[in-house]
Structure 1
Amino acid sequence: MIQTTGLLKVIKLNKTFTFNPKEGIDNPVLMISDDTESVSAPMPRLCALKRQEGESFGFHLRVERGRCGHVIRKLTAWGVAERSGLRDGDRLLEVNESFVDDIPHVEVARRILLSGNQLCLLVMDGEEYDQAVSQGLDLRSLARNHRGEDCQQPRMCHITRDTATGLGINFVPVEGQKGRFTVNLVSGGSAHKAGVFQGDHLVWMNGANVSELTNSALSKMVMKCKDHMTILVIDSESEKSYVRRRMPILPAMVGAHNLPHTPQRLHLVLGSKGYGFLLRQEKTPSGKIVHVMRGLDRDSPAEKAGLQEGDILLEVNRDPVESLEHGDIVDRVRQSGQVVTLTCITAQGLHFYTQLGLCPLLFCGSDPKENEGNKMVPPKPVRVEAPEEVPSVSSQRLCVLQKGPLGFGFNLGCDPQTPGTFISQVVLGGSGHRAGLKEGDLVIEVNGQGMEDKYIEDVIMLVKEGGHFLSLLVMEKSDSSEQKNTQQTTEAETEKYDSQKKEAEELLFL
């Protein structure tokens, strides 16, 4: 019934709504919703980065106090990383399909550096990552579920011709799809023995991606392979997973492989007459400058470790040396102390990888002892804090560092309630670790200049201005009586310290 009073229209509803528990609710205006919010599982994101020659990926990788995992920071505006979907604060789970959340930061950065110009990162939003860690979720399982349980790694296979069956392989184009070829094998032939399976899809041959090749062009490539070929293949079901995720298949993702040449990582113990080898800078026939092992002494530490005359040096203490000057490499070896770790490859091996356009360090032979050492428990969150003031005898140490591809290998920290700057973290195996830096060390001098009364930004500035070499005078934890009396930090100074602390939590970057 409707009544009108002037400009006001009054609507009366003659029919009232009554609830009958037997019949339920039939009022179309009334909706009942569940108050409990559905909690979805954290969802990792895949970011495929591709840079141009000489261009950076446009992000920093950091380890931060108070946070677990490897943190993505300082993305370049409109850079490669930002365009690919990386966000500030993301946590890194996988690098090129390899789970990295539980391995040392320096090794994660190393894998990124060795990836070349293409890189696939599996990341998780920072808040979702913290939530997953607090709930005890298995991050490795989350990463595996993202790509699918049945997804297998691509395989790089080196095929050598034999007299009976030749290479034992041919390639059949997929009808209507340019650049897609399936593998047809000779049973028991060379390709089969090299790890290729019937029905595999061809991704890459002798350093060239086949996705843009016609059948005629591929046939010409095969004809040029006289005695051997190196191919990258994947089974068809796993390939579907990569296609679904819009993920490129890269040589850096390969699993088990049977390549004819692999770099070797050797540990040399200093003897009474040194390590027993000479390092010379030489030029290869292609014009590339390399650093070659010469003049190995009989029964020397070098010979006992397995070095061979003419081996080419790739790393010193797991730091690549390709971009270093010869003198810098010699200094690194001399500064290694009682033990030095050298990664080397034969001249034939280097030529093999150069022809394929690959970095040989991607395929370095594994060291069982090193693998055991890398089985680390993920770090628990800790607060950024100054060294505890406990009674002890203070001792000062002079630590001389040489900058490597990953920086000096330590982090700085500060606290508004405590004067000075301290070493908040030392990267295992980095330059700082080898020089003797310890977590909690107070920074007394940087390159001879006193730092006890300086702000942390002054310390950072001197560290950066020092170039490739750094001299740090540090002091172990000392009791409070040895500390200088300082006035109470003002609120403004506290805010300044907070901003400086955030800026200086990590000096290692890509």
Structure 2
Amino acid sequence: MWSSGGNQDGVEFPRFTFNPKEGIDNPALVIADDPEPDPRLEPKMCHLKRLEGQRFGFHLHVDPRCREFEIRDVEPLSPAEYSGIRDGDRLLEVNEEYVGNMNFYRVVRRIQSCGFHLFLLVLRKEQYEEAESMGVDLHTLAKTTKGDQWSRPRLCHIKRDPEHGLGMTVTPINDGVGVSPGQRGCYMVSTVTDGPAENAGVCTGDMLIWINGVSVSILTHGTLCRTLKKSEGSVTVLVIDRHSHSCYVRRRVPILPVMAESSSLPYATKTMHLEKRQDGFGFLLRRERLGVPLKIAHVLREVDVGSAAEAAGMEDGDLLLAVNGEPVESKEHEDVVVMIRNSGGKVTLTSICMQGLRFYKNLGISPLLFHEVCPLHKTPNEDSPGKTIRHGQDAENIRPDYPSVWDQGCSEDSVAQVIAL
């Protein structure tokens, strides 16, 4: 113990007195520069929320020579405008992912596959220009908004074990890191070692955010326990560690599946690369009404035995999600047919089974959210066939004569790219 005279076990230590005129001359007490970023350069997090069939309401522009992602033409009264997005904003992150090392296609793909919620981290035009003049690293600047201990939430699918159940318990919390006293709907998870929950990616001490697409913030502990017990074979949960939860609370950013890493999800999209043969691709694309309420879906039917479609792994009844990497769920059936026809002799299709589509829709996210695929370089024309077509019959080989917005790579000589979102 230190004595008032500065002694410990009878050993005398010299006193240190701070003189503001002389400053700090004790090398053991030298204070390093504050790593906090200039508050004038603090990025803004914008949460865009759209309705079914609605666009976010802005254009994304990139100059491949400097790889700047710029937001332009923000539409009045759009989700983008309501969120605080402005013309000229520079995009740093999409759903907590830094875009500075991404190509244009990947950034667009991230935005189009996010569903109804989109989080954009942006710098105002003036802030960006100042950061560039100061040589500020934009990736570091984006990370400082979260803190050193931040990590993404995890979307985990837990299969019930006949003997051990889900392998986790849920406890309500009324205090702690990032949790206000008396706050309702805050729950912490404890897992059984090597149990189903732990094997699915859930960790002891995680905060439970969502269960089966429902936010636990509106559930009492009793309701939550009954939900877990009544789950037949599995549950899907969104969890996050407590330090990261505190970060989201500090930033006032909701924690949603669109930001998450996936773990052990039961359904995945399928990417099929088809090369046309003499008899065509060998499948039928039909427009059908499915679900409740009924919605138009593009359904893959009548896969011919020994065809290019069968060789690529196509199955009758699968639902078409994307053509050459471009999402088509919200497109008119005739437009989808044109896209496939204009692909010429090769086309890449992304599909999912009906059960998989229901699974993701119940979670409120797009099945394409965790999907990666490389696009083909094709450009559509204005031809419009009927609503049902067997692909490969009467299709033309159409070659693009200008770079597509879906180009994966851009050279320094490439033209600037822009797309409406």
- Measured against the shorter chain, the TM-score band is 0.7 to 0.9
Higher relative contact order (CA 8 A, sep 6+): 2
What residue is the counterpart of 1:328 in the other structure?
335
What residue is the counterpart of 2:368 in the other structure?
361
1:217 aligns with 2:217: no
Choose 201-210 or 98-107, whichever is displaced more: 98-107
SS at match of 1:108: helix
Matches within 5 A, 1:331-410: 331-364=338-371, 366-367=372-373, 370=374, 401=381
1:274 aligns with 2:251: no
User: Which of the numbers 206, 209, 216 marks the counterpart of 1:203?
Assistant: 209
1:298 aligns with 2:278: no
1:400–1:298 Cα change, 3 Å = closer
1:402–1:111 Cα change, 3 Å = farther
The one-character-per-residue Cα deviations of 1:87-126 (angstroms, maximum 9, x if unpaired) are 3211001011011233233432332233233221111122
Q: Quote the Cα distance in structure 1 between the aligned partners of 2:276 and 2:329.
A: 24
1:282–1:358 Cα change, 3 Å = same
Q: Quote the Cα distance in structure 1 between the aligned partners of 2:284 and 2:250.
A: 52
Please say if residues 114 and 362 of structure 1, whose CA atoms lie closer than 8 Å, have aligned partners that are also in contact. yes
Please say if residues 60 and 418 of structure 2, whose CA atoms lie closer than 8 Å, have aligned partners that are also in contact. no
The one-character-per-residue Cα deviations of 1:337-363 (angstroms, maximum 9, x if unpaired) are 122110011122112222323211112
Q: Quote the Cα distance in structure 2 between the aligned partners of 1:134 and 1:274.
A: 56
Please say if residues 242 and 248 of structure 1, whose CA atoms lie closer than 8 Å, have aligned partners that are also in contact. yes
1:70–1:157 Cα change, 3 Å = same
Q: Quote the Cα distance in structure 2 between the aligned partners of 1:184 and 1:65.
A: 48
SS at match of 1:363: coil
Please say if residues 117 and 258 of structure 2, whose CA atoms lie closer than 8 Å, have aligned partners that are also in contact. no
- Residue identity matched to 1:360: P
Q: Quote the Cα distance in structure 2 between the aligned partners of 1:353 and 1:157.
A: 13
1:48–1:136 Cα change, 3 Å = same
Matches within 5 A, 1:83-102: 83-102=82-101
- Residue identity matched to 1:280: R
Count of residues in correspondence between the two structures: 355
Please say if residues 115 and 364 of structure 2, whose CA atoms lie closer than 8 Å, have aligned partners that are also in contact. no
What residue is the counterpart of 1:61 in the other structure?
60
Q: Quote the Cα distance in structure 1 between the aligned partners of 2:380 and 2:204.
A: 57
- Residue identity matched to 2:70: V
SS at match of 1:362: coil
- Residue identity matched to 2:419: L
SS at match of 2:189: strand
Please say if residues 93 and 101 of structure 1, whose CA atoms lie closer than 8 Å, have aligned partners that are also in contact. yes
Q: Quote the Cα distance in structure 1 between the aligned partners of 2:160 and 2:343.
A: 44
Matches within 5 A, 1:41-440: 42-51=41-50, 56-63=55-62, 68-77=67-76, 79-133=78-132, 137-175=136-174, 176-284=182-290, 286=292, 287-364=294-371, 366-367=372-373, 370=374, 401=381, 426-429=403-406
Please say if residues 105 and 427 of structure 1, whose CA atoms lie closer than 8 Å, have aligned partners that are also in contact. no
What residue is the counterpart of 2:392 in the other structure?
none
- Residue identity matched to 2:381: L
What residue is the counterpart of 2:12 in the other structure?
none
- Residue identity matched to 1:59: F
1:76, distance to aligned residue in structure 2 (A): 4.1
Choose 40-49 or 176-185, whichever is displaced more: 40-49
Matches within 5 A, 1:4-43: 40=38, 42-43=41-42
1:51, distance to aligned residue in structure 2 (A): 4.1
1:60, distance to aligned residue in structure 2 (A): 3.0
1:65–1:140 Cα change, 3 Å = closer
Q: Quote the Cα distance in structure 2 between the aligned partners of 1:339 and 1:177.
A: 56
Q: Quote the Cα distance in structure 1 between the aligned partners of 2:275 and 2:135.
A: 42
Q: Quote the Cα distance in structure 2 between the aligned partners of 1:84 and 1:208.
A: 24
1:259, distance to aligned residue in structure 2 (A): 0.2
1:58–1:348 Cα change, 3 Å = closer
Q: Which runs of 5+ in 2 are unaligned?
A: 1-20, 22-36, 175-181, 384-399
Q: TM-score, normalised by structure 2?
A: 0.75
Q: Quote the Cα distance in structure 2 between the aligned partners of 1:204 and 1:402.
A: 44
- Residue identity matched to 1:158: H
Please say if residues 287 and 333 of structure 2, whose CA atoms lie closer than 8 Å, have aligned partners that are also in contact. yes
The one-character-per-residue Cα deviations of 1:191-222 (angstroms, maximum 9, x if unpaired) are 11111001110111111111222222322322
SS at match of 1:153: coil
- Residue identity matched to 2:420: F
Please say if residues 170 and 187 of structure 2, whose CA atoms lie closer than 8 Å, have aligned partners that are also in contact. yes
SS at match of 1:292: strand
Please say if residues 153 and 260 of structure 2, whose CA atoms lie closer than 8 Å, have aligned partners that are also in contact. yes
- Residue identity matched to 2:311: K
Matches within 5 A, 1:486-497: none
1:57–1:279 Cα change, 3 Å = closer
1:400, distance to aligned residue in structure 2 (A): 5.8
What residue is the counterpart of 2:5 in the other structure?
none
